[in-house]
Amino acid sequence: EPEVTQTPSHQVTQMGQEVILRCVPISNHLYFYWYRQILGQKVEFLVSFYNNEISEKSEIFDDQFSVERPDGSNFTLKIRSTKLEDSAMYFCASSDRQGHEQYFGPGTRLTVT
Amino acid sequence: GEDVEQSLFLSVREGDSSVINCTYTDSSSTYLYWYKQEPGAGLQLLTYIFSNMDMKQDQRLTVLLNKKDKHLSLRIADTQTGDSAIYFCAERYNTDKLIFGTGTRLQVFP
């Protein structure tokens, strides 16, 4: 069964450093999403992406964040200058219909020290 | 504003039915979803229900929706130890974003 994959599974970085989290969505899906879950809190929407453009973004997704689909298979989330409060589990998801039936990857745990 | 709430824990005996409850505030929700998260894994989509439905059954899973009370439930029949996980409900209204509940940790004991 096709699945969403994410790398790395765990990333440790120092405050102020840039990180890139990578995702490979399900191959025939056209809609892509990033969510995050801070420890002990709810899963929160960050951004959705379709046709090489951001479709929707939350208040969390400020200028420090960017997304890109650099080739036909990868979907990335970049955080330019990480803060301690960026420490969270980041989930990528994809779907073949806008917003509906989003399939999630296993997540990348980001630890900012 | 939008909010989705769930109880944090549920413990059931193997073979019994489990009922996980969820309440939401956005009456405009179009779809409501149930996801399962096992340790170290991502969020697995289990099932969903469209807001004009009252019930949906899928093998051992039954979803009930009470729109008047904004209450959603997931019933798992004949609960097995492999059902032990965190279950999240989520709502969506004509946007891309899912709004998740806090998650309910289901523990199944023999």
Determine whether the interchain pair B48/A101 forms a contact, defined as Cβ–Cβ distance below 8 Å.
Answer: yes
E-strand stretches of A60-100? 65-68, 75-79, 88-95
**Which among A45, A104, A105 is the nearest to B97, CB-wise?**
A45
The pair of structure tokens assigned to A78 is 């970049």
Coil, helix or strand for A86? helix
First to last CA, chain A: 37
Kindly indicate the confidence band of residue B1, based on its pLDDT and cuts at 50, 70 and 90.
Answer: low
pLDDT digits over B9-57, tens only? 999 999 999 999 999 887 777 899 999 999 888 899 999 999 888 999 9
Cis peptide bond N-terminal to A8, omega within 30: yes
Return the closest-CA partner of residue B27 out of B88, B68, B73.
B68
pLDDT over 90 (residue B6):
yes
pLDDT value, residue A97: 92
Using CA atoms, how far apart are residues B98 and B26, in angstroms rounded to an integer?
Answer: 12
Mean pLDDT, all residues of chain B = 93
Using CA atoms, how far apart are residues A77 and B75, in angstroms rounded to an integer?
Answer: 36
What is the phi/psi pair of residue A87, to 5°? -60, 120
**Which among A48, A104, A105 is the nearest to B96, CB-wise?**
A48
pLDDT value, residue B94: 80
Return the closest-CA partner of residue A52 out of A32, A34, A35, A36.
A32
Chain A residues with CB under 8 Å of B35 CB are: 104
Beta bridge partners, A65, equal A79
The residues on A that touch B, with CB distances below 8 Å, are 4, 6, 31, 33, 35, 42-45, 48, 55-56, 58, 91, 93, 98-107
Q: How far is CA B34 from the centre of its chain?
A: 4
Residue type, A98: Q
The pair of structure tokens assigned to A96 is 């073949």
User: Which residue intervals of B1-108 are DSSP H helices?
Assistant: none
pLDDT over 90 (residue B104):
yes
Determine whether the interchain pair B95/A99 forms a contact, defined as Cβ–Cβ distance below 8 Å.
Answer: yes
Distances (CA, A) of A103 to A12, A17, A73, B11, B45: 25, 29, 15, 27, 6
CA distance A15 to chain B (A): 25
pLDDT digits over A58-93, tens only? 999 999 999 999 888 899 999 999 999 999 999 999
Kindly indicate the confidence band of residue B95, based on its pLDDT and cuts at 50, 70 and 90.
Answer: confident
Using CA atoms, how far apart are residues B84 and A98, in angstroms rounded to an integer?
Answer: 30
pLDDT value, residue B98: 95
* Cβ proximity of B56 and B33 under 8 Å: no
pLDDT value, residue B93: 83
Percentage with pLDDT > 70 across chain B: 99
**Which among A43, A56, A91 is the nearest to B96, CB-wise?**
A56
pLDDT value, residue A55: 96
Q: What angle do CA B99, B28, A62 make, to 5 degrees?
A: 40
pLDDT value, residue A35: 98
pLDDT digits over A19-49, tens only? 999 999 999 999 999 999 999 899 999 999 9
